[in-house]
Structure 1
Amino acid sequence: MNNESAPARWFPPALAAAFLVFWAIMAVNPVMRDVWWAENIPIMAVYLVLVATYPLFRFSNLAYVLMACWLVLHTIGGHYTFANVPFGFVTDLFGFERNHFDRVGHFSIGFYAFPIAELLIRKNLARPVVAYLFGLFAIMALAAGYEIIEWWYAVTAGGEAGIEFLGSQGDIWDAQSDMLCDTLGAVTALVLFFFSGIRAERQLT
């Protein structure tokens, strides 16, 4: 890490600061404040964990970029509610019957398989194959767990807030489709890690 250029060393703190500004802007006048809180609790938790652990373990810059993708997309979804994010140009372009912004957000959750595998390999906690599989299965378990949380919140909150947080938009297979998107995102991230993550591990350890 000592061989990194100054811009590369300062990239994670700069990215964290930029996201914090973006988050603060998107926290102003959300469509539904109760849904905003429900969506932003995991955002704040992940962000604080990454900031707190930065002095202890520095991920590669690519890992931070991938993790930021979900933070940004979920922040946008929390502001508008996922079903109402201005995503009509994509819906019209492909002739979709629903707003698929939530699918993009779920796909980006899978990107966290990259830092999971990176952590396991750089800390010599697992062989590469085990690290890849653990990253994939961790995301799949997280996806299933989050769908349960969505169901619980929708039932508990009820009304419009429950419907907006669930975001199924009338799709009876919404939960299964979301979990598939999480899984495909994880596979994509692990393929990317296969080509770039191991080299990063050698440079940053």
Structure 2
Amino acid sequence: MKKYPCFLLAVFLLLFLVMGISPASRSVWVAEVIPVVLVAAVLTVWSRTFRFSNWSYTLMFFWLACHTVGAHYTFAEVPFEWFRELVGAHRNPFDRIAHFTVGFYAFPVAEYLVRKQYAGKILAGIFGLFFVMAVAAAYEIIEWQYAVIIGGNDANDFLGSQGDVWDAQKDMFCDTCGAIASLALFYLVRPWKGQG
């Protein structure tokens, strides 16, 4: 399982290449994949000095994959009709699910702090939660400003609010719920005990 991060990276790169072919909007795709590329690059470089647990890499992969798919279709247009009907939603819920996976990054943040002995387990979990909440709020502000600058249909496609005036707040709530869920898993699997 030592090669597991390399396997996930290969799967991500394949997905990234396929989803880069004829996206719904090239300008939206570029804007959406910038954070994906940055996170993937940082994780790749960082893996030379610190190896997260396989749990962390798996959780981080979920967001990379969801965001890459959302960038291709635009989040409001991801073919997710079956799930929308299953949960009885009036809008495409893919965006909310992708935001939930943002919260998964609380797990590797907490793991890093505990394994490097920068914080105890409880404080590391609190910091992981607050880290996700801060990133979620910052992203919503950046998203808003990008939409104001770019304007037009691309702004609407990038925001993906689908007419919901509370979209930003609900997105941040989903990020936070994902963080809480991943931290529950963090305390359950205790990655500081090994590389599981």
Q: TM-score by structure 1 length?
A: 0.93
Question: Out of 184, 188, 192, which is 1:201 matched to?
Answer: 192
- Structure 2 distance, partners of 1:15, 1:56, is 18
Partner of 2:60: 67
Partner of 1:122: 115
SS of equivalent residue, structure 2 residue 3: helix
Deviations 1:56-87 (A, max 9, x none): 00000110000000000000000000000001
Deviations 1:92-120 (A, max 9, x none): 22221111100000000000000000000
Aligned length: 195
Instruction: Give me the identity figure in percent.
Output: 51
Superposition map of 1:55-204 within 5 A: 55-196=48-189, 198=190, 200-204=191-195
Residue 21 of structure 1: how far off its partner (Å):
1.1
Residue 18 of structure 1: how far off its partner (Å):
1.4
- Structure 1 distance, partners of 2:183, 2:111, is 10
Letter paired with 2:65:
V
SS of equivalent residue, structure 2 residue 69: helix
Structure 1 segments (4+ residues) deviating >3 Å: none
User: Highest CA radius of gyration, 1 or 2?
Assistant: 1
Residue 48 of structure 1: how far off its partner (Å):
0.3
Structure 2 unaligned residues grouped into runs of 5+:
none
- Structure 1 distance, partners of 2:193, 2:86, is 43
Structure 1 unaligned residues grouped into runs of 5+:
1-7
Q: TM-score by structure 2 length?
A: 0.98
